[in-house]
Amino acid sequence: MKVILLFIVLTPLIGFLINGIFGKWTKPIAGVIAATALGISFILGLFPIISVIKGHIVEYTYFTWLPFKGITVPFGLRVDYVSAVMLFVVTFVSWMIHIYSNGYMKGDRGYARYFSYLNLFVTAMLILILGNNYLLMFVGWEGVGLASYLLIGFWYEKDTAADAGEKAFVVNRIGDAGFIIGVLFLIHYFGSVTYADVFPRAEEVLGFGSTAATIIGLALFLGAVGKSAQFPLYIWLTDAMEGPTPVSSLIHAATMVTAGVYMVARSNAIFSLTPTAQEVVASVGAFTAFYAATMALTHKDIKRILAYSTLSQLGYMFIGVGVGAYWTGMFHLMTHAFFKGLLFLGAGAVMHSMRGLLSIDLMGNLKKYMPQTAILMVIASLAISGIPPFAGFFSKDAILASALEMGHPYIWIIGEITAFMTAFYMFRFVFSVFYGEEKVEGLYHELHTHEAPAVMTLPMWVLGILSIVGGWVGIKMGGHVPFEWFVTHTAPTTEVAHEAHYSEALLIGISVTMGVAGILTAWAIYIKKIITAEKIANMFKPIYTLLANTYYVDEFVYCCIVKPFWWVSTNFLWKIVDVILIDKGMVDGAGWIAGRVGRGFRLMQTGFVNNYAYWISLGIIVLSGWYIVKII
């Protein structure tokens, strides 16, 4: 098992090295190499997952990585009940995306480079989730940041792609600073960063409700806010659409943005000690869920609609882990990986067939030309809308029920309203693209629109099936919910003083009603046209304009943050500090002083013996005088 666990990480790393170093020769089969590497990693991952299911946590230390005075950081890998869920999600969904990419990226001149980056991305994510300490998690944390930069800016010839990669990289540095601060506090209080040393002693060392626990929790959460794109550090994720669509699927469904949720659930021993930090996590999650959903209502770019959807769904996950029901956040993370991965792959199939077109205003009745994709997108949309028996219903309902029962009624209300908006904007997308009438006559014929090839549709069908049955592990069986029973072995639900109890049937009824209402509203507007979207937009023009321009946040960031920093950088740091103080002051000044001193010493170097004798005599007199004065 020790070797198997190591090769789960090494296999995609080997794929990265083969395509990265020998890409010139492996280009024709680069996709096969990368997908095979992920397939092997997934199969190997089943062994420790089965071991954990049987009740045996798998952990091995391979060598001492960073020995310091008073602290030793090992290179070790660990699979327990939380990381087993992540291991399955990351390897399996990433494998499906790798297979799909073989068809989507066919013919691209950066084919081998793309698959090397894709393997690197998954390698970093596996280190993040399997590392048995916070510093090793941070290596993976930064690794997915690097890989996302490379993949978002993959088509670097486009300025928008290059800028989006830079934006993602810079914004994530803000969150990463918080993560580092949290780790430094852990070192200070525990003298260790290894989970086995920190978590069992967390309450003893920090104490419930302590300032230290709150600082550590909030610092770690700042890292999650950046990596998982929560308000206000979400601004990089929508621009990340500039990368190839399978990359968007990988980032949104299985890897980078789920890292923050996993980290909070993994750190449950710390967060459960600080109600303040938990309240912040849940509140930020609820606000982001609602806020992002409002922006998805008006967007017409199919990838950006899904991007805002991801922001919103991540908000739900943070509600779950924030209220202390960690298993619900992890549950939604898993089901979301299935249906969001499918949604992005379906969007990619549409783009592949439509020669890159993204606007829903140019589409309509696409089911006639892409029937399989249409069916799969309906399945995924029903899942994200929380309609039973699809996967998203069970996980979303578990989150909202936990929020209400653990004393957060306002968060429950926000979550239900957001559920209505989610169903509406997703079926606005589905009805506008796949149903109704063709909006541009002859466009599909001109573009030779057709169903995606089998290499793309097969992974979509696999994810489609999981989008239906993937949530069934959340059905109560034998007195307990299997997924809850599994995850709470590692991440137990936080105990609350006054846990409320509500009718399960009533909560389910309200949740389903909100989803159905959202779908029917979209159907009434975009299919039956009882009232047109244009008329609604005109009736609420100020609100529509605000949402269509995403609250002008990018403009605010540019004017109030980027521009002032640019001014300070160019007019003060560069022109004054760098040019005047450093270049002309310190560097040129040091040269000027050295030159003057050199000229003085040059007067002594005449080449005449009598001059040298003079200086030697003068030196003897000065030294003798100094010695006599010292004696006296």
Asked if the model's pLDDT at residue 70 lies above 80, the reply is no
Domain check: are 312 and 335 in the same one?
A: yes
The 3-state secondary structure of 114-146, one letter per residue: HHHHHHHHHHHHHHHHHECEHHHHHHHHHHHHH
The pLDDT of residue 448 = 83
Distance CA 58, CA 51 (A): 7
Residue predicted with more confidence, 496 or 288: 288
Q: What is the mean pLDDT of residues 548-565?
A: 88
The pLDDT of residue 587 = 84
Copy the structure tokens of residue 87: 């291991």
Q: What is the mean pLDDT of residues 537-542?
A: 90
The pLDDT of residue 627 = 79
Segment among 149-153, 391-395, 601-605 with least mean pLDDT: 601-605
Residue predicted with more confidence, 622 or 81: 81
Q: What is the mean pLDDT of residues 372-397?
A: 96
Segment among 218-222, 340-344, 598-602 with least mean pLDDT: 598-602
Residue 495 in any domain: the answer is yes
Report yes or no: 62 and 76 within 8 Å, Cβ to Cβ: yes
- End residue of a domain, out of 541, 576, 607: 541
The pLDDT of residue 625 = 83
Residue 424 in any domain: the answer is yes
Q: What is the mean pLDDT of residues 150-177?
A: 91
The DSSP result for 330-352, as a single string, is HHHHHHHHHHHHHHHHHHHHHHH
Residue 402 in any domain: the answer is yes
Asked if the model's pLDDT at residue 632 lies above 70, the reply is no
Residue predicted with more confidence, 453 or 605: 453
The pLDDT of residue 609 = 74
The pLDDT of residue 321 = 96
Domain that residue 609 falls in = 554-631
Domain check: are 534 and 584 in the same one?
A: no
Residue 593 in any domain: the answer is yes
Domain check: are 350 and 481 in the same one?
A: yes
421's CB contacts (< 8 A; 6+ apart) are: 290, 293, 294, 296, 297, 518
Domain check: are 561 and 533 in the same one?
A: no
The 3-state secondary structure of 546-607, one letter per residue: HHHCHHHHHHHHHHHHHHHHHHHHHHHHHHHHHHHHHHHHHHHHHHHHHHHHHHHHHCCCCC
Cα end-to-end distance, the chain, whole Å: 81
Asked if the model's pLDDT at residue 509 lies above 90, the reply is yes
- End residue of a domain, out of 510, 541, 572: 541
Q: What is the mean pLDDT of residues 11-33?
A: 95
Distance CA 139, CA 146 (A): 11
Domain check: are 497 and 561 in the same one?
A: no
The pLDDT of residue 40 = 97
Domain check: are 366 and 486 in the same one?
A: yes
The pLDDT of residue 628 = 82
Residue 566 in any domain: the answer is yes
Phi-psi region of 550 (alpha: psi -120 to 50; beta: other; left: phi over 0): left
Domain check: are 417 and 477 in the same one?
A: yes
Residue 56 in any domain: the answer is no
Asked if the model's pLDDT at residue 211 lies above 90, the reply is yes
Residues of the chain above pLDDT 90, percent: 71
- End residue of a domain, out of 519, 541, 563: 541
Domain check: are 589 and 492 in the same one?
A: no
**Number of neighbouring beta carbons within 10 Å of residue 589:** 13
Asked if the model's pLDDT at residue 440 lies above 80, the reply is yes
Q: What average pLDDT does the structure give for the chain?
A: 92
Residue 248 in any domain: the answer is no
Domain check: are 434 and 570 in the same one?
A: no
Q: What is the mean pLDDT of residues 354-362?
A: 86
Q: Where does the pLDDT of residue 499 fall: very low under 50, low under 70, confident under 90, or very high at 90 and above?
A: low
Count the domains in the chain: 2
Residue 453 in any domain: the answer is yes
Segment among 67-81, 240-254, 426-440, 596-610 with least mean pLDDT: 596-610
Domain check: are 414 and 501 in the same one?
A: yes
Asked if the model's pLDDT at residue 602 lies above 80, the reply is no
Domain check: are 417 and 566 in the same one?
A: no
Domain check: are 450 and 372 in the same one?
A: yes
Q: What is the mean pLDDT of residues 337-342?
A: 96
